[in-house]
Amino acid sequence: MGMKDTGGRTPAHVFDTLALADSPVHRLDPRVKIVATLAFIVAVMSFNRYELVALTPFLLFPAVLFSLSALPARPLLTAVCAAAPFALMVGMFNPVFDHRVIGHIAGIEVSAGWVSFASILMRFLLTVGAALLLVATTGMYRTAMALERLAVPRVFVLQILFVWRYLFVLGDEAAALNRGRVLRSFGRPAGVRLFGRLAGGLLLRTLDRAMRIHRAMLARGFDGTVRFLGDLRLRPADVVFCGGWCLAFAVMRLVNLPRLLGQLLTGAFS
């Protein structure tokens, strides 16, 4: 979020808007999407650290979801890049610490560290891509619905929905506060004490708001249960989606498909 004045608009706005579109992927039951995505991530991350070739078939899952959902590429790519620093920072030490030469490509020595670094980048792309596609085709509301059905404690589901709802309201307020300070201070930096006053003021208003929200909820008969509009129903397509992909992940995990393909093509079998 940084120093930029984004007017309170965050990537979250973009993703929640994308989830309003309609496509075969959007129409899937959110529960099967969550289960399939988790299975995908576990399968991808269970390879050993030098695996690269066997990971390539896994690109099929995000690629198919992306194509079928007809989502725009730009916001997804922006979010993937924004998430990259930690994996990059930790991963780039692998070539530094692992010099063992394990192969040659066109006469150039390839060290194990570079292979494992490439593997980390590949896994990063796969896992982040799949998670983003899950959210961009589901949205917070339906995700929360699915979480409730997947036996996540109700208090926690309510908590997520609350944060999500007031994230935008308070985000706008905080952005306005920050803009006001920047405009009046002519480029002078804010110290920690001024920050305390701005953020503290926002906090106190927030707490009052919580009180009003609570009274309003009680007045409307809130009794601690979440009542979602609409119901989740598993259709045959959902079952096929989940079962099919989980089967595919199992095959991709157990059989090194690209190497088999390569051996077929180069005739190394004989």
Contact 71, 18 (CB under 8 A): yes
Which listed residue (141, 149, 202, 228) binds other proteins by CB under 8 A? 202
Q: Is 87 in the site for other proteins (CB under 8 A)?
A: yes
Which listed residue (191, 221, 230, 236) binds other proteins by CB under 8 A? 191
Q: Is 63 in the site for other proteins (CB under 8 A)?
A: yes
Please choose, out of 230-238, 241-249, 251-259, the segment that lies near other proteins by the rule CB under 8 A: 251-259
Closest distance between other proteins and the C-beta of residue 26, in Å? 11
Q: Is 128 in the site for other proteins (CB under 8 A)?
A: yes
Please choose, out of 126-134, 227-235, 237-245, the segment that lies near other proteins by the rule CB under 8 A: 126-134
Whole-angstrom distance, CA of residue 76 vs CA of residue 135: 11
Q: DSSP states of 146-213 as a string?
A: HHHHTT--HHHHHHHHHHHHHHHHHHHHHHHHHHHHHHHHTTPPP-HHHHHHHHHHHHHHHHHHHHHH
Q: Is 156 in the site for other proteins (CB under 8 A)?
A: yes
Q: Report DSSP state, residue 47.
A: S
Q: Is 219 in the site for other proteins (CB under 8 A)?
A: no
> Tokens representing 61?
């899952």
Q: Which residues, in sequence order, are CB contacts of 166 under 8 Å at separation 6+?
A: 206, 209
Smaller CB distance to other proteins: residue 116 or 241? 116
> Tokens representing 193?
């004490």
Q: Is 114 in the site for other proteins (CB under 8 A)?
A: no
Closest distance between other proteins and the C-beta of residue 192, in Å? 5
Q: Is 3 in the site for other proteins (CB under 8 A)?
A: yes
Q: Is 79 in the site for other proteins (CB under 8 A)?
A: yes
Please choose, out of 158-166, 227-235, 236-244, the segment that lies near other proteins by the rule CB under 8 A: 158-166
Phi, psi of 104 (to 5 degrees): -130, 135
Q: Which residues, in sequence order, are CB contacts of 15 under 8 Å at separation 6+?
A: 75, 79, 132, 135, 136, 139
Q: Is 38 in the site for other proteins (CB under 8 A)?
A: yes
